[in-house]
Amino acid sequence: MNLEKKAFRDAQIKKMQQAASQTSQAAPALLAKLMALPQWQQAKTVGLTVSSPIEVPTEPIMRAATAAGKVVLLPKCMPHRQMAFLPDPGADQRIKSSFGIPEPAYVAELVDNQPDLLIVPGIAYAKDTHARIGFGGGYYDRFLAQYQGPTVTLAAPVMTYDTALWPVEAFDVLLDTIITID
């Protein structure tokens, strides 16, 4: 494990915990910008994850997608740090993963690993290169290496940096679009 990444990640998570209320306050403006994107408007399927309390809330995104007739796909953690995206069965039918993240049950015939739009989670984003750093599992980098569609993230001010203050490695996949309010 890259110790520089771990040190940055630990410090960034603390910053995000302290700024959780500001992140929630930024969410409506970020969602409005997301909904204005052509990629959002054209998407019939949208992949995203269920957010933790320190992240930009994804429940309003799920509601907006459903209201617009889009299918919401959520990741299911699989062996070997892989993910499979499946239709959201609804909050009451989600199962908590070993990471404590609500996810759908695995049903092979429902897997859709090429959503029309993928909203990628993370804890920090570089505005100059569109590099991201996540929570450290490597699931999204592995998934993004195979994913063909557009990627976007909603980045609250505490998550945005002019340039990466963490090591960006060859396997780190850069995002297409970073939505900010600053």
Number of domains in the chain: 1
> What is the mean pLDDT for each group of 10 consecutive residues in the chain (182 residues)?
81 97 96 97 97 95 97 94 94 90 95 97 97 90 94 97 93 94 81
The predicted structure's pLDDT at residue 80:
87
Q: Residue 156: which CATH number? A: 3.40.50.10420
What was the pLDDT predicted at 16?
97
Q: Look at residues 164, 165, 182 and name the one whose alpha carbon lies nearest to residue 174.
A: 164
Note the pLDDT of residue 3. Answer: 62
Question: Looking at residue 131, what is its pLDDT?
Answer: 96
What pLDDT was estimated at residue 138?
85
pTM: 0.94
Tens of pLDDT, residue by residue over 93-146, are 999 988 888 999 999 999 999 999 999 999 999 999 999 999 888 899 999 999
Domain extent, residue 134, equals 3-179
